[in-house]
Amino acid sequence: MEITKKKCSFREHNKIDAISYCQNCKIYMCNKCIAHHMELFDNHYQYNVEKGIKDDIFTGYCNKEKHFNELEFFCKTHNQLCCIACISKIKSKYYGQHTDCDICNIELIKEEKLKKLKENINNLENFSKTLEQKIEELKKIFEKLNEQKESLILEIQKIFTNIRNKLNDREDQLIQKINTKFDNLLCNQKIIKESEKLPSKVKILLEKSRLIDDILNKNKLNYLINDCILIENNITEINKINEIIEKSNYINNIKIIFIQKNDEINKLLEQINYFGDIDEDENLNSSIIKYKKDIYFLEERLKKNNPLTKHITYKLLYRATRDGNSSESFHQKCDNIKGTLTIIKTTKDLIFGGYTEKTWEKSNGLNKKDENGIGFCFSLDLKKIYNNTNEAKSTIRCYSNEGPDFYGGDAYMFDIYFPIDTHSSSNTGYNKSCKSFGNFERDYEINNGESKFLMKELEIFQIIYDN
């Protein structure tokens, strides 16, 4: 509420700031008036308003329009004081707003409010002890948020600066290529310009050649030889021009073009529109999946298995970097549990996995069929679901010395070998083309076209459907 300075109510002092307000007289008084008022009314209740007052200062009287009554009643329904006009049985524009409420005299609510006041004072005292600490904690939270904000902005700027630099470099490369191509075609341009002088030279040479007999008669042998050399040199230039003219017919048919590769460019432009995103970190207790959009994408498919599901709970059963980098640890944590979601993150930061309601177990290549077609695989990078459509309905295969193995009847979707070792090629996951799982557009699609991958992390969640 805005704090306002009030002026003295006495006409002759109406430019002087008030320092007190009389609740009984409903007047503001300056320092000159207050002494006289206290001599006349020593039992009136006064507010000190020297530092400013709220516009809705409490006067003890009802502030409703056309209500000029003292606040003598309490409305329990709305937890507020009211006057006789407020509780009038006659309802109108100005009266009877609390006619149907639970009303009592303020004397009857006194003890209850005093008790509540003591509780509130006690709460305020306890709160005040830690208030400064809480304020400092709040400041730190906002400082951390600002730091996070600046860090995100710098991260995005850095990425897009690198992209712009790459685009600029590519632009420079293409322009340099153009210059080189045309420089090679125009390398004889200087000779062509020189050829413009040749007609006059030829004319002079012809005139000189007509004088050869005269030179021989005069026995001027050195003049003769010099003119012969001059004619020979110019003939050489003329031959060069003839070659250029012949080549020009070939050059004239050359058309250098910019191969735009529209499909690739359009695909890149489309990717730029969706490059990166800003979202809240969803606390899934996953070190792989971080964002709500990824969780919603999986939940949309998971809920098709159980349409009545209102909420899905993800119980982390196994994390390779936490629970043990071995098939033994995987089986110990995940065997004999129905409804598990496998999530893989590769060293190239690709994220994919699969869901099965069948249980994992130690075995020697046991196939478990998904008769109802509930199992599926997915790629978070492509935002694509691969439903099991093969006739055999084989979803998983169990091995005692392996991790999760999603199998599609005649080909692997992926299978996991331990240990996870990002520095060793022995950590090999297979990702074969698996048309039996549905809508593959290319071989090894789920792993960006590569048949093998190294894992950075592997997580297994139990999916619990809450109806």
Query: What's the pLDDT tens digit per position in 5-36?
Result: 778 888 889 889 888 888 778 788 898 898 88
**CA dist 57 → 38, 52, 109 (Å):** 21, 11, 22
Using CA atoms, how far residue 165 sits from 152, 160, 267, 272, 324, in Å, is 20, 8, 20, 15, 42
Task: Give the mean pLDDT of 190-198.
Answer: 65
What pLDDT is attached to residue 444? 80
With 0-12 CB in 10 A as exposed, 13-18 as middle and 19+ as buried, what is 429?
buried
- Specify the pLDDT at position 193: 67
As a whole number, mean pLDDT of residues 81-107 equals 91
CATH number of the structural domain 3-54: 3.30.160
Give the up-direction half-sphere exposure of residue 141: CA atoms within 13 A in the CB hemisphere.
Answer: 6
Which pLDDT band holds residue 433 (cuts at 50, 70, 90)?
very low
Is pLDDT at 426 greater than 50 in this prediction? no
At residue 2 the predicted structure's pLDDT band, cuts being 50, 70 and 90, is: very low
Highest mean pLDDT among 218-222, 410-414, 452-456, 460-464: 460-464
- Per the model's pLDDT, the better-predicted residue between 195 and 405 turns out to be 405
Q: Model's pTM, two decimal places?
A: 0.44
Q: 56 pLDDT exceeds 60?
A: no
**HSE of 142 in the Cβ direction (CA atoms, 13 Å)?**
5
Q: Which own/partner pairs from 185-189 qualify as long-range (CB within 8 Å, at least 24 positions apart)?
A: 185/251, 185/254, 188/244, 188/247
pLDDT tens-digit series, residues 374-403: 888 899 998 988 887 665 566 788 989 888
Is residue 417 scored above 90 in pLDDT?
A: no
Share of the chain above pLDDT 70, in %: 79
Radius of gyration for the chain, computed over Cα atoms and rounded to the nearest angstrom: 46
pLDDT at 425: 44
Read off the pLDDT of residues 276-296 as tens digits, 9 standing for 90 and up: 666 555 556 888 987 888 888
Domain segments of the chain as ranges:
3-54, 186-252, 292-466
**Residue 431, Cβ neighbours under 10 Å: how many?**
26
Res. 406 pLDDT band, cuts 50 70 90: confident
245 or 100, which is more confident: 100
**Residues ≥6 apart with Cβ < 8 Å to 384:** 378, 439
447: number of CA atoms within 13 Å, CB side?
A: 23
Check if the beta carbon of residue 288 is closer than 8 Å to that of residue 342: no
Q: pLDDT by residue (tens digit) across 346-366?
A: 888 999 999 999 999 999 888
| pLDDT for the residue numbered 356 | 92
Phi, psi (deg, nearest 5) at residue 421 = -145, 100
Q: How far is CA 346 from CA 133, 310, 387, in A?
A: 44, 32, 22
| pLDDT the model gives residue 115 | 92
135: which residues sit within 8 A by CB, 6+ positions away?
A: none
Asked whether the predicted pLDDT for residue 331 surpasses 90, the reply is yes
